[in-house]
Structure 1
Amino acid sequence: MANITKKVSWSSRADESGATGEGTPLLNGSEQPRHSRQDSLRGRPKEIPHNEKLLSLKFESLDYDNIENQLFLEEERRMSHMGFRCLEISRWVVCGLIGFLTGLIACFIDIVVEQLAGMKYQVVKENIEKFTEVGGLSISLILWAVFNSAFVMVGAIIVAYFEPIAAGSGIPQIKCYLNGVKIPRVVRLKTLVVKVCGVICSVVGGLAVGKEGPMIHSGAVVAAGVSQGRSTSLKRDFKIFEYFRRDTEKRDFVSAGAAAGVSAAFGAPVGGVLFSLEEGASFWNQMLTWRIFFASMISTFTLNFFLSIYHNNPGDLSNPGLINFGRFENESVAYNLYEIPLFIAMGAIGGLLGALFNVLNYWLTIFRIRYVHRPCLQVMEAMLVAAVTATVSFTMIYFSNDCQPLGPEHTEEYPLQLFCADGEYNSMATAFFNTPERSVRSLFHNQPGTYNPLTLGLFTLTYFFLACWTYGLAVSAGVFIPSLLIGAAWGRLFGILLASITTTGSTWAVPGKYALMGAAAQLGGIVRMTLSLTVIMVEATGNITYGLPIMLVLMTAKIVGDYFVEGLYDIHIKLQSVPFLHWEAPATSHWLTAREVMSSPVTCLNRIEKVGTIVDVLSNTSTNHNGFPVVVQVAGNDEPAKLCGLILRSQLIVLLKHKVFVELARSRLTHRKLQLKDFRDAYPRFPPIQSIHVSQDERECMMDLTEFMNATPYTVPQETSLPRVFKLFRALGLRHLVVVDDENRVVGLVTRKDLARYHLGKHGLEELQLAQT
């Protein structure tokens, strides 16, 4: 039997079940006495908040399972065949709007970044050229640092003070949302505005970041807003798409938005679909695949079309994504069979470097959680990183003597001569004195000899630590492009070294080809994506020939990296204490049963319950208690009540708000029949119980829950193994799973947090702490 390390939380038990036990149940379902908890506390080290040893109770689950109550069934019976067809057409229309708006946002970001960065680099370039001959280059350094710090300060202020959830790329948060976790404010319009403005400031501010990752979050926010037909931030309800106001429909559209964001970022619609499938979706079907692919195609077409107009080439659709890798169509960049082991070796290097990146960023994030948690400190840190980045970049350019001839068809946007001879430019400046996207393309396609090995080595080392320091700042930024840039630099260096040690190296060891493989290896080693990233890279390069080597590189990087540490996104999800459910239950957990992992005892309600009892139950339980089994007692029978349904806190709130009481219905104060529209109008932010006024007379009324409860909730016997419970819970996107005995009596509830507590650690199966962080 596998060992299990028990890590017990001393906070009161509060989860999404109706469990009301104050203590934390042990594995056998009993509760630990209060005095033994206090004794155990002595000598325990103080835990930091939001770390991987905790499982936060502040995160609620989403209801990805339709509530099949009588109202739902009656609505379906009333709906005609044409009504269902109209709903299906509406889903396609919404997906088209998601793709169109996501493409427009990507176009806006790209144009604004290009204009502002161009102005900044032009001013700094002219200043450097002015002071190169007469001295005083320190003024140029100060100017560059001030420009960077000013832009980053603006971006950090709006994130730290107005919408902290907009920090980072947003990919971990969207992964959690699609996994079934409700992340507060993650899909608000305010979040989108801060995200867009913040990523512009971050990229223009010269940080080691990219604008592609945040597009996934932006697309998800667009999807959530458009599909609901209203905005909480604007306090506007447009009364359209009301039918889609439930978690099940919203999840599908957010999946489409995330895919549209990937498509707009990389010009990879198929890769976008696979990203949603691989990284987030908890449910999938064929029709959903088509709609997501449609949104992705519309997104990349919209970006392509408007950028062609911006570049004065209307109709020239040659800009499918924010980053353009360029086309690898030359026969000289094809690979040979004997190069595959070299690519696999590069994948192993990428896995090792990715693991090092993730470990360093993990400890840095721990430091930030402990000491840099105030908004003012977060803004100061972001400005410090911006100034240091500018200083390091300037220093590297200043001391570099890598001068290259400036050809008539040079691809450098801002060639900097500095101390080079006339007709030459500083090669180091090409890597630093540019946006990261342009630097990646230069490393892919510049002719052999453009960079010397020392330049690439120093750039890789410097940019690696800058990117590691930057990820996790209170700014909107992605890690995709920095990872690609780091990998492209050491990959090109790898190709140069191969060419130098082989007699025929010039014919097959093309630096650009190895830069591509290095970029894939580094990105795979950090984020650990395989399937979707392979397709994204193939679509972005426009060469299917590289499909196999890229896949081998990514798989090798993942295998090597996973041996040491998890992927970057998984690390940050754990550090936020999110109850994230992976695809499979932990290994060696078959001996655990539903009885041992469930929450108990459970607060149950009678099918016809007293209003005062319902109000007291909702008032005396935490807002984290969201599911209440409904039981029925057979008249004239002394047997315990048996399960007949399940009702949610949100449903009870709506019923109390509309005063759906039996006595009122029979009196002159008859009320209209409640419909699903009333529940959808309150979705997704239902009022708290404290805002519902119930008089003393109304407390004596009765409430019939028959029409509103889910009469067929999913149940499992108490002897069901943990993996079977996990598979049922995860595959169906459940929020609550009722555990019953042989007589169909409620013995407990399984929730997301009950399952997420268990993971395979160094000492076998371990149980995480539960804490109200």
Structure 2
Amino acid sequence: MANVSKKVSWSGRDRDDEEAAPLLRRTARPGGGTPLLNGAGPGAARQSPHAALFRIGQMSNVELDDELLDPDMDPPHPFPKEIPHNEKLLSLKYEAFRTVEIKRWVICALIGILTGLVACFIDIVVENLAGLKYRVIKGNIDKFTEKGGLSFSLLLWATLNAAFVLVGSVIVAFIEPVAAGSGIPQIKCFLNGVKIPHVVRLKTLVIKVSGVILSVVGGLAVGKEGPMIHSGSVIAAGISQGRSTSLKRDFKIFEYFRRDTEKRDFVSAGAAAGVSAAFGAPVGGVLFSLEEGASFWNQFLTWRIFFASMISTFTLNFVLSIYHGNMWDLSSPGLINFGRFDSEKMAYTIHEIPVFIAMGVVGGVLGAVFNALNYWLTMFRIRYIHRPCLQVVEAMLVAAVTATVAFVLIYSSRDCQPLQGGSMSYPLQLFCADGEYNSMAAAFFNTPEKSVVSLFHDPPGSYNPLTLGLFTLVYFFLACWTYGLTVSAGVFIPSLLIGAAWGRLFGISLSYLTGAAIWADPGKYALMGAAAQLGGIVRMTLSLTVIMMEATSNVTYGFPIMLVLMTAKIVGDVFIEGLYDMHIQLQSVPFLHWEAPVTSHSLTAREVMSTPVTCLRRREKVGVIVDVLSDTASNHNGFPVVEHADDTQPARLQGLILRSQLIVLLKHKVFVERSAMGLVQRRLRLKDFRDAYPRFPPIQSIHVSQDERECTMDLSEFMNPSPYTVPQEASLPRVFKLFRALGLRHLVVVDNRNQVSRGAEGAGVPCRAPLCLLPVLTLSSRQGTLRHGIQHPVRPCPMATSLPSPALSSGDVLKPPRPPACAAPATHKAGSSTGRRELTRGPLWPGLVLQVVGLVTRKDLARYRLGKGGLEELSLAQT
């Protein structure tokens, strides 16, 4: 069989080598045999004649990820008999790994249960608090309608709204600002591989849940469904780690999953469970996680995410059924129930297809206008309303204005409709006759979810065109103004409400103009308008189609909804990107899309890489490591490790080590010391790294004495010996695809002048490395030009050359575990050792000589986008 060093991962997906835990290497014992993963000795191999034998190589990753070795090449060194830090790993049997897989399913079940319970809590509290508020205001309005003095009712309404929003805004602005908004852009970034500070902490969950309750009860043009996605993600991130860093409680469970790759998978399940709880759409939740969230996907992950979504909607359904007194009637699958659409009464014909396409165009245009207005409003807030106190004042102002505008429209409206039993939760009569209610109040004087259901299912004639037109116009601007406030709120329900209003108006207009019975029911046009408006704003297609179908319990309108959403997305993308992508860009997050910009084929890795690259020796002084980590100019989180060499013996690339790993090593004082046995270094357990994850201490908090600075640290036991590399002439789309598909954090760029060393015949000739500077990107006018700022000087990097040999194609991607020999520019502080770092052949790839010329990071790839004038370079620090 192929020489495979199998580091088992039962998630069925290749793992990011750079995100893995520390790497361990030990010198092989003389005469030692090859250890087997299925047992600690050869006897274990005989337990099953068909059992696969997995070798532990010279450098083994204790995190059990997949690593493929070239079967045609012999291992450079004998395999060790045992790995001192890995005895427990070698004794694991298949049952242990099967237990890990079972734990994954248990965690997904817990995610679904807790997400459903949180959704129940939000729904019950909102229903009771909002009901109390509307009953108080309704009683006051009914009282003063006869006596006069409705201004007091207006003051009461505005005061109550502002009070609720005041509390909700204060806790967000002063306690946890990351809880603002729906949280969907932040979760998209997290699943894309970007760590947003505090985004999945317990405190964020508490503030998010409290804030969304207060925002909805405060009467803002928001919904509680969007934040459920963020809430589910936080729950998943916490449950999967088996501890709470906020509460400083470690339950000693699920320790295996304390790493980024596992955590990201569970957060995907949490996001899907949030969608499922919000809309009662488990399949839609899975598709949402795939379409909008997860960057890395596999079949096993699909099943687990679907399981979490299913458990979430069942938990919500069961608990709400008990709360409403119908324990065995599972009729509340989500926070919002659009109601059942009768297929017979609301059938559509082929003649309506052009109408649905036209509605998609309208939704795309209105969505683009919404996003453009919100973009300029957000830019204004970034510049002028950045202080927390001003943010709270703005939120209170919006709440008061919303109440005032709603009251004025209700007061001015004379659209009176006959009151039907149970059709209104809080009917306002005002100046209507007995037995009638004000239809404008049906839209404004209610929670947004109930207003959407009213527009979907109220019979024809329940709203006149003027009422719908005014409501659409006013609520459009209120929702645009509200999104981006320092409150926890979502945009799903406001978008549906706006679209349902103008969609119903669209249907009424068709019926009035044609007089045909086919346009008789405006409810289906309200549904199409809601889908068009939401699709035009957030630009979701597949997942939103399924969500709408599951929420309406009707597959009849599957094709029209698809048609409307596709049209809205195509039209909207002509003008501006989706709302979530726009806010991700405004937050200067290095977000990687599915594909590189279509016009980026002319760019190469050399043009987008970050230089200079700070290197560390395999045995490096502690003081040098501390200085490198303390240097803000060395802002990349991965450092190439090179072997120390003098002027006559070139250095060679040994691997890559992460900043977080160096922090843990410094914290535990893993220094090389002299003893009776010679030079020894303290051992670390895998648990030490897992305990530090994810809140690694800052370098400033680690005390290193002057004597300790003179000690050395052997990095070879903890580094990644096989970083991915790419030639500097590789095109940006190729680099992008490699970076995206493998989930990389760093990608080493090498020189394309491959040389073959022929023993003594190869003479080392130093050459000068390009004195590139770390780009400081700024968006320059409309051309999107790039300006560079000087960060720190870089020392030239010599390269050993020899007789030429057949070179690899510039487009070939070099993959591990045979790392090329290389050296990289290094930056040292005063007092650190200096000297040239030269290049020789690699230890695992004999004869191949490559020069490291840079490092591609996420920011380098994320700063390019396709603009109207072509490819543009964005600033990731402009805000």
Q: Give the TM-score taking structure 1 as reference length.
A: 0.89
2:333, 2:643 → 1: CA distance? 60
What SS is found at the alignment partner of 2:557?
helix
More displaced stretch, 713-722 vs 667-676: 667-676
Query: 1:266 pairs with 237, 255, 279, which one?
Result: 279
Query: 1:454 pairs with 457, 466, 482, which one?
Result: 466
In structure 2, the partner of 1:432 is: 444
What SS is found at the alignment partner of 2:291?
helix
In structure 2, the partner of 1:34 is: none
1:284: Cα distance to partner?
Answer: 0.2
In structure 2, the partner of 1:678 is: 688
Query: 2:20 pairs with 66, 80, 84, which one?
Result: 66
1:544: Cα distance to partner?
Answer: 0.9
1:475, 1:239 → 2: CA distance? 35
2:708, 2:402 → 1: CA distance? 65
Task: Report 1:484-503 matches (<5 A).
Answer: 484-503=496-515
> Are residues 1:291 and 2:304 paired?
yes
Answer whether contact 1:152 1:202 (CA < 8 A) is retained.
yes
> Are residues 1:608 and 2:562 paired?
no
Q: Give the structure with higher Rg (CA).
A: 2
1:670: Cα distance to partner?
Answer: 7.1
What SS is found at the alignment partner of 1:413?
coil
In structure 1, the partner of 2:733 is: 723
1:79: Cα distance to partner?
Answer: 2.8
1:237, 1:679 → 2: CA distance? 15
1:171: Cα distance to partner?
Answer: 0.5
Query: 2:643 pairs with 618, 632, 636, which one?
Result: 632
Using CA pairs under 8 Å that are at least 6 residues apart, name the structure with larger relative contact order, 1 or 2: 1
1:701: Cα distance to partner?
Answer: 3.0
> Are residues 1:183 and 2:289 paired?
no
1:287, 1:707 → 2: CA distance? 32
Answer whether contact 1:615 1:689 (CA < 8 A) is retained.
yes
What SS is found at the alignment partner of 1:545?
coil
In structure 1, the partner of 2:475 is: 463
Question: What's the % identity of the aligned pairs?
Answer: 79
1:643: Cα distance to partner?
Answer: 1.9
1:271, 1:380 → 2: CA distance? 37
Paired residue type of 2:637: N
2:259, 2:222 → 1: CA distance? 35
1:349: Cα distance to partner?
Answer: 0.3
In structure 2, the partner of 1:173 is: 186
Over 3 Å counting, the alpha-carbon distance change for 1:770 and 1:204 in structure 2 is: closer
Task: Report Cα offsets for 1:549-587 as digits up to 9, x if no partner.
Answer: 101100100111111111111111111111111111112
Paired residue type of 1:490: W
Query: 2:597 pairs with 558, 565, 586, which one?
Result: 586
Stretches of structure 1 lacking an aligned partner (at least 5 in a row)? 1-61
> Are residues 1:389 and 2:402 paired?
yes
> Are residues 1:643 and 2:660 paired?
no
2:681, 2:595 → 1: CA distance? 48
Query: 1:145 pairs with 137, 149, 158, which one?
Result: 158
In structure 2, the partner of 1:476 is: 488
Higher helix share: 1
What SS is found at the alignment partner of 1:590?
helix
Answer whether contact 1:332 1:508 (CA < 8 A) is retained.
no
Answer whether contact 1:64 1:180 (CA < 8 A) is retained.
no
Query: 2:340 pairs with 308, 322, 327, which one?
Result: 327
Paired residue type of 1:452: N
> Are residues 1:421 and 2:375 paired?
no
Over 3 Å counting, the alpha-carbon distance change for 1:499 and 1:602 in structure 2 is: same
1:373, 1:539 → 2: CA distance? 40
What SS is found at the alignment partner of 2:600?
coil
Query: 2:863 pairs with 729, 735, 757, which one?
Result: 757
What SS is found at the alignment partner of 1:425?
strand
1:191: Cα distance to partner?
Answer: 0.7
1:366: Cα distance to partner?
Answer: 1.0
Task: Report 1:52-451 matches (<5 A).
Answer: 65-67=19-21, 69=23, 70-72=60-62, 75=86, 77-407=90-420, 409-451=421-463
> Are residues 1:699 and 2:712 paired?
no
> Are residues 1:512 and 2:523 paired?
yes
Paired residue type of 1:753: K
Stretches of structure 2 lacking an aligned partner (at least 5 in a row)? 1-15, 24-59, 65-82, 755-848
In structure 2, the partner of 1:619 is: 630
Query: 2:587 pairs with 572, 576, 584, which one?
Result: 576
Paired residue type of 2:359: M
Answer whether contact 2:588 2:878 (CA < 8 A) is retained.
no
Query: 1:599 pairs with 610, 628, 639, which one?
Result: 610
In structure 1, the partner of 2:559 is: 548
1:412, 1:469 → 2: CA distance? 28
What SS is found at the alignment partner of 2:345?
helix
Paired residue type of 2:850: N
What SS is found at the alignment partner of 1:749?
strand
Give the CA RMSD over aligned residues. Answer: 1.9
Query: 1:564 pairs with 549, 554, 575, which one?
Result: 575
Paired residue type of 1:293: F
Task: Report Cα offsets for 1:727-757 as digits up to 9, x if no partner.
Answer: 1111111110011233133221110111112
Over 3 Å counting, the alpha-carbon distance change for 1:636 and 1:112 in structure 2 is: closer
Answer whether contact 2:21 2:686 (CA < 8 A) is retained.
no
Task: Report Cα offsets for 1:63-97 as digits up to 9, x if no partner.
Answer: 88435733515655443211111111111111111
1:168, 1:589 → 2: CA distance? 33
Answer whether contact 1:64 1:732 (CA < 8 A) is retained.
no
Paired residue type of 2:713: M
1:623, 1:588 → 2: CA distance? 31
1:765, 1:666 → 2: CA distance? 63
Answer whether contact 1:117 1:204 (CA < 8 A) is retained.
yes
2:587, 2:411 → 1: CA distance? 41
1:114, 1:356 → 2: CA distance? 32
Query: 2:746 pairs with 714, 736, 751, which one?
Result: 736
1:638: Cα distance to partner?
Answer: 3.4
Answer whether contact 2:672 2:680 (CA < 8 A) is retained.
no
Task: Report Cα offsets for 1:708-727 as digits up to 9, x if no partner.
Answer: 11111111111111111111
Answer whether contact 1:174 1:220 (CA < 8 A) is retained.
yes
Over 3 Å counting, the alpha-carbon distance change for 1:737 and 1:723 in structure 2 is: same
Task: Report Cα offsets for 1:321-366 as digits up to 9, x if no partner.
Answer: 0000001134011211111110010000000111111111111111
In structure 1, the partner of 2:669 is: 659
Paired residue type of 1:66: A
Paired residue type of 2:20: N
2:440, 2:399 → 1: CA distance? 19
2:718, 2:159 → 1: CA distance? 61
More displaced stretch, 601-610 vs 431-440: 601-610
Over 3 Å counting, the alpha-carbon distance change for 1:664 and 1:354 in structure 2 is: farther
Paired residue type of 1:279: E
1:518, 1:445 → 2: CA distance? 14
Task: Report Cα offsets for 1:30-65 as digits up to 9, x if no partner.
Answer: xxxxxxxxxxxxxxxxxxxxxxxxxxxxxxxx9884
Over 3 Å counting, the alpha-carbon distance change for 1:643 and 1:403 in structure 2 is: same
In structure 1, the partner of 2:37 is: none
1:671, 1:624 → 2: CA distance? 28
In structure 2, the partner of 1:746 is: 852
Paired residue type of 1:577: S
Task: Report Cα offsets for 1:258-315 as digits up to 9, x if no partner.
Answer: 0000000000001101111101211000000000001101111111111011101112
2:18, 2:397 → 1: CA distance? 43
More displaced stretch, 68-77 vs 241-250: 68-77
Count residues in correspondence: 709
Paired residue type of 1:313: N
Paired residue type of 2:319: F
Q: Give the TM-score taking structure 2 as reference length.
A: 0.78
Over 3 Å counting, the alpha-carbon distance change for 1:772 and 1:387 in structure 2 is: closer
